[in-house]
């Protein structure tokens, strides 16, 4: 086959994405190499997926071992790897039952269906309203994309599922006026990721939890991005004053292998009786074997303490950079999920900044329209963080001129 280049993307693939101008050849730890041999420092970790960096040795060993034993087995049979992940995962959470899927979208789809079914069983068909928040992101199936309520992602695909209400995030007064006995579920991200790294206010969450209880509505936390150590605790809800009824996870759980999970109580899980929901690949033994390794690694107390330390370090360094360059107005986030909001003068230049970083060998993400997003591997070193910041500073100064 001829040597492929980035240009081939445009005549082979759906044009849903516009990837950077290179082809990735290989990656290890926090570094990525393209087909020209250029090396990049990676602050994106596959969009908060590669919690242990690229191709971690421990994961490669597990893949080798498990792939020689059992790669796939339908859900007509149970297997040790899938059950093993459930047994390891649940004790580190406030939940009693888990359903495995293949992605964040699929986890949210299942969570929303479960919430609707629970209300249907317990209260009847009229209790069907889902409340979600502006600038949220819950995935790309038609149900999850309609729930997230960014019209530009859900318009033009025909009739939308009904009984979904969108209101502003962190606005308890509006929430109070909106929730009713018709509400079956409220879904939110404890830190909005794609929306711009916007943490939920503790007081807002307390109010939401109380009103959900009063109206028998289930509170769903979408922790697809915030979970699995990303925010410096195993799940982000641990840092909030509330516990949700249903939690969804995905991204980091498979350290690069596709897996997602829905967690809840025994009582709520019981509403998914045999035949109500399913997934051919969900609970895949290979992904679950790697998931076990991820849980074992991340739940060592020193690991998450280190994530919190590095998160604080990166935030402090970004604040210094904000003062020096006057291009960043706010630095926010939890653990190693950090956003730097650009000053008005730079707002239109977010993707230019991203491209210049790329040119200088640093991969970063954007969130919202004007927020630089940092989501490196959780085991990145302080040295590597500093190396990236040197490049970012140079880029911000170049943009200024
Ligand atoms: C990435 C993401 C999703 C979608 O996950 P996929 O694995 O792409 O389906 C859903 N919710 C949040 C908060 C996310 O960050």
Over residues 5-48, the pLDDT tens digits come to 999 999 999 999 999 999 999 999 999 999 999 999 999 999 99
Rounded to the nearest angstrom, the distance between the alpha carbon of 209 and the centre of ligand 1 is 23
Contact by Cβ (8 Å): 51, 377: yes
Ligand 1 contacts CB of residue 227 (under 6 A): no
Q: Write out 95-164 in H/E/C secondary structure.
A: CCEEEEECCHHHHHHHHHHHHHHHHHHHHCCCCCEEEEECCCCCCCCHHHHHHHCCHHHHCCCCCCCCCE
Q: What is the pLDDT of residues 198-256, one digit of tens each?
A: 999 999 999 999 999 999 999 999 999 999 999 999 999 999 999 999 999 999 999 99
Phi/psi of residue 396, nearest 5 degrees:
-65, -35
CB of 225 closer than 6 angstroms to any ligand 1 atom: yes
Could you give the 3-state DSSP secondary structure of residue 307? helix
Closest atom of ligand 1 to CA, residue 251: 7
Q: Map residue 260 onto helix, strand or coil.
A: strand
Best residue for ligand 1 mutational test, from 251, 252, 375 (most atoms within 8 Å of Cβ)? 251
What are the pLDDT digits (tens) for 268-321? 999 999 999 999 999 999 999 999 999 999 999 899 999 999 999 999 999 999
CB 375 within 8 A of CB 336: yes
At residue 301, the pLDDT reads 84
Percent of the chain with pLDDT over 90: 97
Closest atom of ligand 1 to 225 CA is: 15
If you measure from the C-alpha of residue 337 to the centroid of ligand 1, how many angstroms do you get, rounded to a whole number?
14
Per-residue pLDDT tens digits for 331-357:
999 999 999 999 999 999 999 999 999
Give residue 379 CA to ligand 1 midpoint distance, Å: 22
201 CA distance to ligand 1 middle (Å): 21
Check if the beta carbon of residue 132 is closer than 8 Å to that of residue 145: no
Yes or no: say if 30 and 42 are a contact pair by the CB < 8 Å rule.
yes
Pocket mutation for ligand 1, best pick of 105, 107, 373 (most atoms within 8 Å of C-beta)? 105
How far does the centroid of ligand 1 lie from the alpha carbon of residue 51, in Å? 15
Would you call 57 exposed, middle or buried from its count of C-beta atoms within 10 A (0-12, 13-18, 19+)? exposed
Residue 126 CA: distances (Å) to CA of 121, 129, 149: 11, 8, 22
d(CA 375, ligand 1 centre) in Å: 14
pTM attached to this predicted model: 0.98
Q: What is the pLDDT of residues 121-169, one digit of tens each?
A: 999 999 999 999 999 999 999 999 999 978 999 999 999 999 999 999 9
Q: Which burial class, exposed, middle or buried, applies to 50 when counting CB atoms under 10 A from its CB (0-12, 13-18, 19+)?
A: buried
Give the per-residue pLDDT at 369: 83
135 pocket-lining for ligand 1 (C-beta < 6 Å) = no
CA distance 295 to 191: 21
Q: Which helix H or strand E contains 311, and what residues bound it?
A: helix 301-325
- 224 Cβ closer than 6 Å to some ligand 1 atom: yes
Q: Is the CB of 253 under 6 A from ligand 1?
A: no
212-247 as b/e: b if 16+ CB within 10 A: beebebbbbbbbbbbbbbbbbbbbbbebbebebbbb
To which residue do tokens 């919690």 refer?
Answer: 51
Q: What does each C-alpha distance from 127 to 148, 174, 247 come to in angstroms?
A: 19, 20, 21
Q: Which two tokens stand for residue 22?
A: 């290179």
Provide the edge-to-edge strand list for the sheet that holds 337-342.
328-334, 337-342, 371-374, 365-367
Closest among 162, 158, 159, 241 to 199, alpha carbons compared = 241
Residues 6+ apart with CB under 8 A from 291: 85, 89, 253, 254, 255, 257, 259
For 22, list phi and psi in degrees, rounded to 5.
-175, 170
- Looking at per-residue pLDDT, the higher value among 2 and 178 belongs to 178
């Amino acid at each position: 086959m001829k040597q492929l280049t980035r240009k081939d993307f445009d005549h082979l693939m759906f044009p849903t994405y516009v990837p950077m101008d290179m082809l990735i050849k290989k990656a290890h730890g926090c570094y990525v190499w393209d087909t020209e041999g250029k090396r990049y420092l990676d602050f994106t970790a596959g969009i908060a997926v590669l919690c242990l960096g690229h191709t971690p040795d421990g994961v490669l060993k597990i893949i080798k071992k498990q792939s020689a034993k059992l790669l796939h087995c339908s859900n007509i049979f149970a297997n040790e790897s899938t059950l093993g992940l459930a047994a390891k995962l649940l004790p580190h959470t406030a939940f009693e039952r888990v359903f495995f899927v293949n992605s964040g979208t699929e986890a949210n789809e299942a969570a929303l269906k479960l919430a609707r079914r629970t209300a249907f069983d317990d209260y009847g068909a009229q209790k069907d309203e889902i409340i979600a928040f502006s600038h949220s992101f819950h995935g790309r199936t038609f149900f999850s994309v309609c729930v997230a309520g960014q019209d530009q992602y859900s318009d033009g695909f025909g009739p939308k599922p009904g009984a979904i209400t969108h209101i502003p995030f962190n606005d308890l007064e509006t929430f109070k006026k909106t929730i009713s006995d018709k509400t079956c579920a409220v879904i939110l991200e404890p830190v909005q990721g794609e929306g711009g790294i916007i943490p939920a206010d503790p007081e807002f969450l307390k109010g939401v939890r109380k009103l959900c209880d009063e109206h028998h509505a289930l509170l769903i936390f979408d922790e697809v991005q915030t979970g699995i150590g990303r925010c410096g605790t195993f799940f982000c809800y641990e840092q909030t004053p509330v516990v949700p009824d249903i939690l969804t996870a995905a991204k980091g759980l498979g350290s690069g292998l596709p897996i997602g999970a829905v967690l809840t109580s025994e009582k709520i899980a019981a509403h998914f009786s045999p035949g109500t929901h399913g997934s051919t690949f969900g609970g895949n033994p290979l992904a679950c074997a790697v998931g076990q390794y991820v849980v074992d690694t991340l739940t060592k107390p020193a690991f998450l303490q280190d994530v919190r330390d590095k998160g604080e370090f990166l935030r402090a360094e970004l604040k210094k950079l904000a003062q020096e360059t006057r291009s960043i107005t706010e630095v926010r986030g939890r653990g190693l999920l950090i956003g730097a909001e650009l000053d008005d003068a730079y707002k239109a230049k977010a993707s230019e900044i991203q491209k210049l970083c790329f040119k200088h060998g640093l991969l970063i993400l954007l969130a919202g329209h004007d927020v630089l997003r940092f989501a490196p591997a959780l085991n990145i070193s302080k040295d590597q963080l500093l190396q990236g910041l040197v490049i970012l500073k140079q880029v911000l100064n170049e943009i200024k001129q």
